Amino acid sequence: MSTAANTIEALRERVPLSMSEILWQDPTLVLRGDGWSIAITTPWRLVRADTLLLGSDHASQSALDAIVAGRAIVGCEAQSTRSTIDPALLFDGGITLEIFSVTYLEPWIVVTAGRGHFVASPSD
């Protein structure tokens, strides 16, 4: 099973996930809650249906807070049907965080209590 598939399975086991921290320190986005965290150092975007809400190229802490603060992650799935190397996090309210690996070097890392660390390896 791929790293992304294992990550998706580990996150699905824990949903809903409430967030205690959302931190944007360009180029890193960190989401954290009780017993889990994800650090993303690759491009990402927040979408609702067919609308781009925010992307990593123009992100700010205040914009992130306005969109996802107080929301829960209610699902996790492969970001694409063509390539399943990245997860997409589904927030309540129909918002999705899509992740796009564009480097071989740890584009995202997920930590879950009881399941350990999942480090993306899109070149495998």
Overall domain count for the chain: 1
4 vs 53 pLDDT, higher one:
53
Q: How confident is the model at residue 28 (pLDDT cuts 50, 70, 90)?
A: very high
Rounded to an integer, the average pLDDT of 74-80 is 88
Does the residue 93 lie in any domain? yes
What is residue 113's predicted lDDT score, i.e. its pLDDT?
Answer: 78
Does the residue 84 lie in any domain? yes
Does the residue 124 lie in any domain? no
Whether 66 contacts 45, CB under 8 Å: no
Contacts of residue 11, Cβ cutoff 8 Å, sequence gap at least 6: 17, 36, 73, 76, 87, 89, 110, 112
Domain extent, residue 42, equals 3-119
Q: How confident is the model at residue 14 (pLDDT cuts 50, 70, 90)?
A: confident
Does the residue 87 lie in any domain? yes
What is residue 44's predicted lDDT score, i.e. its pLDDT?
Answer: 96
Rounded to an integer, the average pLDDT of 58-69 is 96
pLDDT of 50 above 80? yes
Rounded to an integer, the average pLDDT of 39-59 is 96
DSSP state of 15: -
Whether 74 contacts 92, CB under 8 Å: yes
Does the residue 55 lie in any domain? yes
Q: Could you tell me how many helices (H) and strands (E) the chain has, helices first?
A: 2, 11
